[in-house]
Amino acid sequence: MDLEVLTSAASQIAEESNIPHEQVVKIVEDSLAAAYKKDYGQSGEEIKASLDLETGAVQFWQIKQVITLAEKEDEKIHFNPLRSILLKEAKKSNPKIKAGDDLHIPLETKTTFGRIAAQTAKQILLQKVKEAHRESVYQEYKEKEGEVITGLVQRIESAAVYFDLGDAIGILPEEEQCKNERYRLGQRIKLYLLSIDNTSKGPVIFLSRAYPKLISKLFELEVPEIGEGQIVIKSIAREAGSHCKVAVSATDENTDPIGAMVGQKGTRILTITNELNGEKIDVIRWAEDSSKYVGFALAPAKVRRVEIEEPDRAKVFVDADQLSLTIGKNGQNVRLAAKLTGWKIDVQEYKADIKEDEEKEEKADIKEDKKKKEKVDAKDTKESKKKEEKVKPDKEKAPKKATRTKKSKPDKK
């Protein structure tokens, strides 16, 4: 086994496997220690190696744990002289050592190993590099969980599609696929990283094209106002591959959330629609008032009136010509609106007689209120007159005497 070749291979492994350089050095040292133990050590010994990649120099030590005499005599503890040493003996090599510490005993340096030892070292090296690479991939994609990544279609099976992610393979299960999509080898697609599992065979990365949050992540890539916090996506309702509704609001009064999401001449939303193979996307304005929100959610239909019936039902009235548009094909529009708002929506036709009845009831209420007010005013006037009569003096109550007026005599001419 050539140490120079080994050190060169270690550097190459670090670059190709995306493993930290220090970790690769540790793996090489473990494989050298295993080779040394195979040729020059004994079964049960703990051997440690130290490799200098720049010079290619290597050193070996035997590791023994320092224990006290009481621990040696303890029946529960099995004393192994190949792995343990008494404190009294250890202090001869290192006066400052304490019980529980490890004593490093230098061993004779060896640079040549037999075929079996070299094979053992190679197997350990490859196994540990593989494990380190798996752990590195797992940590890398664990941090990307919930994000959008790009993959190339590598293999298509009946139940799943496999994607090449660069340094790992992702799985798109059948239930996470869009029904209207057809995949072809080498196709580049954006995918939502759903989850990652660390198994004995390595990390398994699960992808999705149907998850609703794929929509919000795609909008984040196209609409910078979302990243800046000016626009907030409040809710998403989606039937993957067919139709999607997105409710948005603006934190800044001067920002038009729908206009920003759609983009100039629809460029932003068109990019996302093309990525989703023509899936229809409705962007609606979110409202704190439930009745307004339900009305907005049923767009593009025009709603006449919304009545909220507690605890979770909303009654919607629309004109006859808007009824089919409100419900949508196979009930899709009203179904998505219900998912988006969280209300059970009952759509009814708006009739003119209903409006007339409401106006009559409103006029009757106004008339009744007016009568009540007139009665109250009349009662107050009567009581005020009675009070005034009590206060007036008696002479004011007596009628005035009639006064006679002298008739003027006619002028004699």
Q: Give the pLDDT of residue 84.
A: 87
Q: What is the pLDDT of residue 125?
A: 80
Confidence of residue 67 (pLDDT cuts 50, 70, 90): confident
Predicted pLDDT of residue 35: 86
212-286 CATH: 3.30.300.20
Structure tokens at 103: 């004593």
> Is the previous residue joined to 224 through a cis bond, with omega within 30 degrees of 0?
no
Given a cut of 80, whether residue 107 has pLDDT beyond it is yes
Instruction: Please say whether the beta carbons of 173 and 159 come within 8 A.
Output: yes
Is the pLDDT reported for residue 312 higher than 90? Answer: no
**Cα 401 to Cα 80, 393, 404, 405, 408, distances in angstroms:** 143, 17, 10, 13, 22
Tokens of 331: 């009930």
Domains of the chain, by residue range, sit at 3-138, 144-208, 212-286, 288-359
In the chain, the largest separation of any two C-alpha atoms, in whole Å, equals 175
What class, spelled out in words, does domain 3-138 have in CATH? alpha beta
Res. 413 pLDDT band, cuts 50 70 90: very low
- Answer yes or no: are the C-beta atoms of 248 and 197 closer than 8 Å: no
Spell out the SS3 assignment of 355-409: HHHHHHHHHHHHHHHHHHHHHHHHHHHHHHHHHHHHHCCHHHHCCCCCCCCCCCC
User: Which residue type, as a one-letter code, is found at position 218?
Assistant: L
Fold of the domain spanning 144-208:
OB fold (Dihydrolipoamide Acetyltransferase, E2P) (2.40.50)
pLDDT, mean of residues 314-337: 93
- CA-CA-CA-CA torsion sign (13, 17, 23, 28): negative
For the cut 80, the answer to whether the pLDDT of residue 388 exceeds it is: no
Please report which residue ranges of 48-106 form alpha helices under DSSP H.
69-73, 87-93
Same fold, 3-138 and 288-359: no
Distance CA 123, CA 145 (A): 33
Q: What is the mean pLDDT of residues 276-297?
A: 93
pLDDT-wise least confident of 56-60, 99-103, 158-162, 356-360: 356-360
- Give the pTM: 0.70
pLDDT score for 310: 76
What CATH code would you report for 288-359? 3.30.300.20
Average pLDDT over residues 216-240: 94
Highest mean pLDDT among 2-11, 280-289, 301-310, 378-387: 280-289
Give the other-Cβ count within 10 Å of 137's Cβ. 22
Pairing of strands 148-156, 188-199: antiparallel
Segment 66-76 shows an average pLDDT of 74
pLDDT at residue 95 greater than cutoff 70: yes
Locus of tokens 């109550």: 397
What integer pLDDT is reported at residue 397 of this predicted model? 47
339: part of which helix (H) or strand (E)?
helix 332-341
Mean predicted lDDT score pLDDT of the chain: 83
Reported as a single tens digit per residue, the pLDDT across 30-52 is: 888 888 888 888 888 889 988 87
Residue 360 confidence class, pLDDT cut points 50, 70, 90: low
DSSP per position, 295-357: HHHTTTSPPSEEEEETTTEEEEEE-GGGHHHHH-GGGHHHHHHHHHH--EEEEEE--HHHHHH
